[in-house]
Structure 1
Amino acid sequence: MLSRFALKSPSAKILATASLSTMSLYSLTGTASNGDSISMDDFKGKFEKLGSRWADDLVILAFPSREFGAQEFDSDDKIAEFARSKHFPGILMKLGNVKGPDASEIWKHMKAESGAPDPTWNFNGKFLVSKSGKVSVPRNVESDIEALMAEDDEL
């Protein structure tokens, strides 16, 4: 499962004493499928490409998981190879869970901030993150992204 996460600026080293609900998404760090550490702060005010429509204004993070009928490949390398073959325009996070206590800290944070339930199937879990770091679940991905793009550039 490549649960998608569209970011406008948003997945996990967390201080043991910190509460997820009091933390900013931008204070979290995750691990990409190639093992690189990715700080969410790097995306604050900076965006990557989603097709040509939003050019340098959007970052997509995918969180591969085998929790849905084991449909996903069983290694980060195989997932990355498949994503390259499909010209996936985003960043692949490390293969892991998106449900329950073993989900990545970034995923748990987005879920807690938005009030979203665990995803029930592939591509079912999506989050949008505003320039200021507010996490929401899109109702209509395209129009919700357009609304976020129109937000004031001040953080």
Structure 2
Amino acid sequence: MAESTLNWKEAKSIYEFTVNDINGQPVSLEKYKGHVLIIVNVASKCGYTNNHYTELNELYDEYAETKGLKILAFPCNQFGGQEPGDANEICEFTKKRNVKFDLFEKVNVNGNDAHPLFKYLKQKQGGFLLDAIKWNFTKFIIDKNGQPVDRQGPNVSPKSLIKTLEKYW
């Protein structure tokens, strides 16, 4: 997990964070400056997997080139052990689904060892009743300035985010 000296509570935008890609290479989120993003925690063995991966792919195919949409997927095994694979297994899974959006290292999204990026996202876009992420495929929308502007749970299909995304393009 990419760590920095940044205190997530003091971050002014997501651009201050560095995360590791699925191959363990550090990626500064500053590279996404000027893009609308969907940041989502994913799992390969969840009831939401088929629909969400299909619709995230469709959104990416339709809007990556025309609107600059970027999708950042973070595998997470904290919900029912539904992402048990290692990086190679996750890559094989996403390759079979023709995933083109950006895939990152498996992280925890809740608890003391949650990745600082997810601590920041939850602080900026709290959840219903609790700020904790309750399941796989929680989606955060980030505007072109790196600000979290919306949060949607797993029961919200990715394609239904289009109207919200349009506000920020």
Distance 2:75 2:116 in 1: 14
Q: Tell me which protein shows more helix as a share of its residues.
A: 2
> What TM-score results when the alignment is normalised by the length of structure 1?
0.77
Q: Which moved more, 1:125-134 or 1:19-28?
A: 19-28
In 2, Cα distance between equivalents of 1:76 and 1:27: 25
User: Which amino acid in structure 2 is aligned with residue 144 of structure 1?
Assistant: T
CA contact (8 A) 2:144 2:168 kept: yes
Residue equivalent to 1:101:
112
1:14 to 4, 8, 28: 4
- Checking the alignment, whether the CA contact within 8 Å between 1:21 and 1:112 is kept in structure 2 is no
- Runs of 4 or more, structure 1, over 4 Å off, are 46-49
Question: Displacement, 1:46?
Answer: 4.6
Partner of 1:147: 167
For 1:105 and 1:68, locate their aligned partners in 2 and report how far apart those are by CA, in whole Å. Answer: 18
| 1:90 paired residue among 101, 121, 146 | 101
Query: Which string of whole-angstrom CA distances, capped at 9 and with x for unpartnered residues, describes residues 37-56 of structure 1?
Result: 11010110257981124425
The residue aligned with 2:14 is: 25
Between the two proteins, the alignment pairs up a number of residues equal to 136
RMSD: 2.2
Question: 2:27 is paired with a residue of what secondary structure?
Answer: strand
Residue 88 of structure 1 deviates from its aligned partner by 1.6
Distance across 2 between alignment mates of 1:82 and 1:99 = 24
Question: CA–CA distance in 2 between the matches of 1:22 and 1:41?
Answer: 13
**Identical pairs, percent:** 29
Residue 126 (structure 1) shift: 0.9
Whether contact under 8 Å (1:63, 1:98) holds in the other structure is no
Match of 2:132 among 112, 118, 127: 118
Q: Secondary structure at the match of 1:101?
A: coil
Contact 1:98/1:107 (<8 A) preserved: yes
Residues 24-77 of structure 1 deviation map (CA, whole Å, 9 limit, x = unaligned): 211110011111111010110257981124425111111111111111132011
Partner of 2:30: 41
TM-score by length of 2: 0.71
Residue 132 of structure 1 pairs with residue 132 of structure 2: no
Query: 1:65·1:72 contact (CA, 8 Å) conserved in 2?
Result: yes
Alpha-carbon distance change, 143 to 46 in structure 1, aligned in 2, over 3 angstroms? closer
Q: Kindly indicate whether the alpha-carbon contact (under 8 Å) linking 2:107 and 2:114 is maintained by their aligned counterparts in 1.
A: yes
Q: Which runs of 5+ in 2 are unaligned?
A: 38-58, 153-159
Q: Deviations over 1:101-144 (max 9, x none)?
A: 21111111111122232222221x11011011110224551111
Separation of aligned partners in 1, 2:76 and 2:12: 25
Give unmatched runs, 5+ long, in structure 1.
Answer: 1-11, 150-155
